[in-house]
Amino acid sequence: MSDEKTKQEDTTAEIANTEENGNSSDEEVIKKPDKRALEKERKEIISKMLRIQKEFMALEREKGVTEKDIHHNPQGIVKEYKEEHEKLANRLVDIAHALKGSIRT
């Protein structure tokens, strides 16, 4: 009889610990991304990228920037444009994955 009581007390303690730690499989909450916020951020990033592209095109016309200047050892303002564009492009990819629920590999 005492073995049964001990087993029951152990089981009750396990259930209490599981509920306290939030490890209950019934209570799992999957955090979904805020799609409206992501869509808004996506639009802002695209606007920034287009602005950067227009500014760079103007610089290209004024200063004669070549592909070599962009891809091989960029310096100064060209380097800044390239880094900013890459940062925004990577965030845009992250947002696209979050909206679709996929994983970036």
Q: What is the pLDDT of residues 35-62, one digit of tens each?
A: 899 999 999 999 999 998 898 888 888 8
pTM above threshold 0.75: no
Listed residue (91, 90, 85, 77) closest to 52, CA to CA: 85
- The answer to whether the beta carbons of residues 43 and 103 sit under 8 Å apart is no
Listed residue (74, 75, 82) closest to 55, CA to CA: 82
For 1, 3, 57, 70, 78, the CA distances from 61, given in Å and listed in that order, are: 91, 87, 6, 14, 13
